[in-house]
Amino acid sequence: MSIIALAVVGVVVAATVHLAMLFLNSAPWNSFSQQHAADIDKYVGSEFAQEWQLYAPNPQSVNTHVQARAKVQMPSGTLTDTGWVDLTAMDDERIVHNPLPSQAHQNELHHAWSNYVDSLDNEGRPVGLYGKLMQQYLLRIVAHRLGPQVNGGTVQFIQLRSANTPVGKPPWSVQQIDTQTSYVVQPWWAVTAEDFK
């Protein structure tokens, strides 16, 4: 019976020390944690260090909206440009107040755009097979969102751009941030019937 009691006491003491070390590591700076900072860091840092990159590996400092427009062939045979459509705003509308939004509305367009932009060279051209596949993938997503008929005409070309707006400063900050939107415009891409399937 005494061996079991000793084991229970040992576990309780170890758990108490462990929780105390984690608490002192996370708690606001105080005189006790300041005096024992080396011991606390040695204990916590070896196995229990918190890497905030797990939660926000690359916090966004710019809001990016993917916008599209189409060049449509009217029944008369003339080509007409449509206005810009904010596809990201459309996705955001589908997500707000929806307790179970679809994965496509949350991430599909955003990830496709990010992967496409990451595949571009310094002159804005897709690099290699991956770049071309990302361009085709993005084109298909946008074609499905717009549909083959827009404003009474048949879609012949699609053009994309990103509207990039820096996130404003918090109220307590004295940092000056220009929150004017800038645009990165892609060339016109021809579409085929296959892109709408």
pTM: 0.66
In DSSP terms, 184 is beta-bridged to: 162
Helices (H) and strands (E) in the chain, counts: 7, 7
Q: In angstroms, what CA-CA distances link 1 with 5, 11, 12, 13? A: 6, 16, 17, 18
pLDDT at 157: 96
What are the domain boundaries of the chain? 2-54, 62-196
Average pLDDT over residues 180-192: 92
- Per-residue pLDDT, 52: 56
Q: How far apart are CA 50 and CA 11, in angstroms?
A: 24
Q: How many CA atoms lie within 13 A of 10 on its CB side?
A: 6
Tabulate helix, strand, coil % of the chain (nearest 5): 45, 20, 30
Helix or strand or coil: residue 15?
helix
* pLDDT confidence tier of residue 15, bands split at 50, 70 and 90: very high
Q: What percent of the chain has pLDDT over 90?
A: 40
CB 105 within 8 A of CB 91: yes
pLDDT over threshold 70, residue 136: yes
Q: Express each pLDDT in 102-121 by its tens digit.
A: 777 778 898 899 999 989 88
The residue ranking higher by pLDDT, 153 or 52, is 153
- pLDDT value at residue 53: 54
- In tens, the pLDDT along 29-75 reads 777 878 888 888 787 776 665 555 555 556 667 889 999 999 999 99
